[in-house]
Structure 1
Amino acid sequence: MTDILWTTLLFTSVTLIVSQGSNKCGQPRIYENRRLDEKYLLISEFKDGDKVTYKCDKGYTQWQGRRDSTCFNGHWSSLNMQCKKKKCGSAGDIVNGKFHQDGNLFGDKAYAECNTGYVLQGMPFRECLDNGWSGTIPNCIASHSFSKPFHAPARASDRIREAAAVRVVTCRRPTAQHVMLNGTKHAYRPGERLLFSCHEGFHMQGNSKIIQCGQDGKWSPRPMKCAKIKCPSLNVLNSVINIVRRVVNTTVTVSCKEDFHLSGAKHITCEANGSWTPAVPTCEPNSVPGQCGQLPFHPNAFPRDGQLDQYKDRSQVRFRCIHGYIWAGGNETIYCDNGHWTSLQLICRKKKCGSAGELENGHFDYTGVSFGDTATAKCNEGYQLVGEAMRHCRAEGWDGRKPVCEVVKCSNPPEVPGAEMYGPTDDEPIRFGDLVSYRCLTGTLVGSQEIFCTEKGTWSASAPQCRGVVCPFPHMKFGSRSSWFQQSYQTGNSVEFTCNPGWRLVGARTVTCGTDGKWKPALPKCIRV
């Protein structure tokens, strides 16, 4: 008897343990085009009643259904969230060409084709990615050899039609001031080229000396201009210059102020290449034996106490790093040694700012973490940035305040007359992905039964409607209808009542069928007199 009792207790205990363990769920299910939120990936076991949320894969966006799945009695509830491919729209317009698109959804491609007489310059296709079309719109450049147009791969080429004929056009001989051309014809065919040069004392504006007649009858590149050559302005410290003009063949005389002497040519001339010849001279202070002159240059440092024209022998000058840089080694002091400066070995490096901070529900994209670099805040899907997106690494650290990523919220869902609404409770904010569903009390639902809060803070669709709302037939004990006799009553229909002899009406004599399928006011009653 004792053995039987212990066996029964042991079996009961094992059954309870197994039952309790079976209520837990393992890893949530995997769905096509949807993925589990990152915060659940490292959790291997879930309790009964736990919820997990999903999001759409890269290149997809939610369009209906709930985002959550619940652990119930050891099993995950089915996920009814639906994701569809994102749209990219048009791939753009190509001058002298066009795109042939497989479609405008994520993963589709658009193939470029140039018109006859033009060749493609750039990528031959663009792909619809998560953030739009890849790359940039290519160019169609006129070809004097009339190369065959680029054809898309086989799946797009079926839609490409070759041009039936080439329109014959000509370009008129161009004219411009101070320009010389190597051709004498009055008209040129597409693809023909001209070489142009400028008159003496003028130089070409632009990178090309060659222009070409295009299929549209216009020369390219444009415009073709020649500008007057000028030499740089002269800025010689401690000098006296008798300059009036800086055009070609102008000669200038340079002389120095008192206590300074000329180092270089006294007379310089503006040449046809836009430079002074000989080189622009300088005015140097009259030196004293043993003294030092100009300080050595350091790109990231400067003398602490300013700069003089002359320094006595054995003078010392200390340098410091410029704003945004810090000392990283080397001697910061130099000495005047018998007319020569000792070597400046100071090393200055950019200050570092480190991390711009952890961004909850987002991240920073860095160009670097040193002085002058930037960090740009990016929020995860379903969150919006509040604050300045970009922070700059300054000498004192990252400027500004760290922004925050707040969850996208939607306004209260629209109410539908004659329908019940199911969704978040009134005291809960409505967030990205939250779902609201409608059920008509009477009549038929027209429109989307479910709408959800999108990543833009708007509802995925307009509210549905309940059409054909019918009120219960207006039965009246000890009375009857006195007007508006119908088989059924819809929203807006009215009815009038009267009581039988010996009975008195209590309530409104006339009632109307409301949008919620109820009589307004309530049906009256007949009581005995």
Structure 2
Amino acid sequence: MNLGYNIVFFISVAIHVSAEASSTCGVPPSYPHTKVADKYIQLNKYNHGEKVIYRCAESYTESRGIRSIMCDNGKWTRLKLKCEKKTCGSAGDLFNGYFNYTGSLFGDKAYAVCNEGFTLKGMEYRTCKDSVWTGEIPTCEEGREPQISQAGITCPYPSVANSMKLGEAVSVYRVRDSVTIVCSEGFLLTGDEQITCGPDGQWQTQLPQCLPSSPDSILIFKPDIIFYCTCGVPPFYPNRHLSQSYLTKTNFSLGDRVRYSCGIGYMRVRGTVYSTCVRGNWTPLTLRCERKSCGSAGEIDFGNFVYTGVEFGDTATGVCNEGFQLVGQNVRHCMNDGWDGRVPVCEPVQCVDPPEVINGEMDGNLEPPHIYRTVINYRCRKGKLIGASEIYCTKDGTWSAPPPECKGSKYLFLSNHSYTKCTICLFPLKNL
């Protein structure tokens, strides 16, 4: 009795374990240009109904589809997420020149080329990085001597003893980068307070000095320094906003600094976010903000997007191919967080059922729907076919021609013992 019970028990357990094993899934599959979200990397077993989230790989962006797959009775459902390379769009307008692109995707370059008679000033190319072009747009100046490319030229860190560290730490200073030197308390600046990285990799002008001073020397030799201990309201910069904590403050002490950030729809590409109160004036803000890029607005089957651009404020208008009509919102706007709305759908135009013809027959695709370019053929069982023997559904959703007619032959009495054959008889004929 106990033996039989044990056998049944172990069989039940085995069946249960087998069923449980068959309903679990292993490590999620790999898909091109995607990766599993970090929290799922260490897991290698999933129960029925559990989901796993995928993300686009670096330098790729989500274009459409669903980001998750699910364990369904021991098998993973297929991932529908589509990832495409990030695009930077246009590198900008180069007056008296143009950009020569190797592409507009991540890692591509846009080389600046000046028209004949103009010489390039600035970086000779921009690189597509994370949906934005690096650097600033160069200029094409007339009548300048050819200059050596400034790509890769840097200046050393401007080390000035007894000076204050302003802004954020910068590891590389490139040509035309500016730095403002502010002396620590108890020291006076000798030389220019703002220096610029030159094309030869040297600072222009020479590095200033911070020399010690006493309160007496300030009063005797530089009495006007007293009027430098405060600054007024920080200046306004387009597309760059003062942090909210400074908005209500109107007076700032010597050495105080304020922080700026890029406005909505703009992103930081270079420069420091700080401005410092120095000698009663705010140091120039070197923060540079450029419009965010939304990349591709998506792919439309049987249609495409027409772009005004791919940066903040631009639009992408959906246009269907001939014979298709758009379903959904036709315009998408590049917003701060990407394109608004969804990718519209282009569906084929449909025509109403083709009309029947008395004494006639139809051939072709007679089952609805009758979509664009559907062809219907007519023939007569009796009489002669008058009109088009073939009609088709046009791009406007109408048939290309009215239906034909099937007409019989009649004889028209003209005079004594004289008849003629009437091919099209639009009125009843009688013997006269």
TM-score by length of 1: 0.33
Instruction: Kindly indicate whether structure 1 or structure 2 has the higher relative contact order, using CA contacts under 8 Å at least 6 residues apart.
Output: 2
Q: Which has more radius of gyration?
A: 1
